[in-house]
Each structure stands twice: as C-alpha cells, then as structure tokens.
Amino acid sequence: MKKLIALFFTGSILFSSCTDQPKQIKLVNDRASLPAAFNFDKLGLKVMSSSINKKHNTMSTLYANTLALQNAIKGLKIHVPGESFALVTWKRQADDHWFGANIPGELQSLELVNTTGTAVSYKKYEGKALTLNVDTTGSKQRVSYILSQLPSVLP
C-alpha cells in the first residue's frame, strides 16, 4: 500500500511538471500607442469626448487644450484663437481580457485642428508611423466635424 501511495505521488509530480509554460499576459496595448517621436504628451491636451463608428469599425478620442475644453464646457459656439483639438482614431479590436469588450487596436489617424485669428489650420497624420497626409480633400468637412463635437458629460 505504501508503494502504491508513493507511486501515485511520484506520478502526480511527473505529470504536473510536464506542462507547457503559461502564456505571458500582455496588459499594455502597444498596438494603440502613439509613436514616442510624435511627442503627443507635450501638446498638453485633455480628453474631451470619445466616439465609436460601427460602420468603419473604429473608435476615436477627441482631445482639446484647456482653452478649447473650457469654451466647450461653457457651450460657446464661436471658436477663439488659441484653441487646439486632436482627434485620434483607432481600429477596434476585441479585448482579450474582458469578454464582449472592444479596445483600441491599430492606430489609424491623428487629426490636428488649431484656431489662429480668423483662420483654422488642419493637419492629418496617418498610419502607425503618423506620416503627414498632404491631400486636403475633405478637410473642411473634417474641421467642421471636429469643431462641432460636444464635451462628454460625466455625472
């Protein structure tokens, strides 16, 4: 009987030690990160709102500087010089850690809108490397869309 128990424990140890190494769990979403060379943090922008486009399977976050955010919260419809907005868009992907949830996937674009005097400047960067797109087709509609966004309301 003692031999049988010893054999059982030895077998248990052998079988339990022959498993594959557990898969490393990745908690940081590198695919959605902006390139460090772009220096997005130095723009000093804060989250203003977010949106999901189910048709294109994308999700976006609109960032604004303090002046633009304060004016949007006040409900001002006129934009003053010095306001800055950045709309970052990602492809959506399923969250591996939360069933049914979607998280940002591959970086699609970053659109910058700045108000200066009576003019509004617009730049669009595309892809993971955020290369400047010099094609200005549809830029007026994009500027109008970005400037018309309302800030998220939190309870």
Q: Give the domain ranges of the chain.
A: 29-147
Low-confidence residues in the chain, pLDDT < 70: 1-25
One-character DSSP codes across 11-62: HHHHHHTTSPPPPPP--S-GGGPPPGGG-GGGG--EEEEEEEETTTTEEEEE
Q: What global pTM score does this model have?
A: 0.80
Using CA atoms, how far apart are residues 83 and 47, in angstroms rounded to an integer? 14
Give residue-wise pLDDT tens across range 12-49: 565 555 555 556 667 778 888 889 888 899 999 999 99
Q: Which residues pair with 27 in a beta bridge?
A: none
CA distance 47 to 86: 9
Judged on CB neighbours under 10 Å (0-12, 13-18, 19+), 123 is middle
- What is the structure's pLDDT at 21? 58
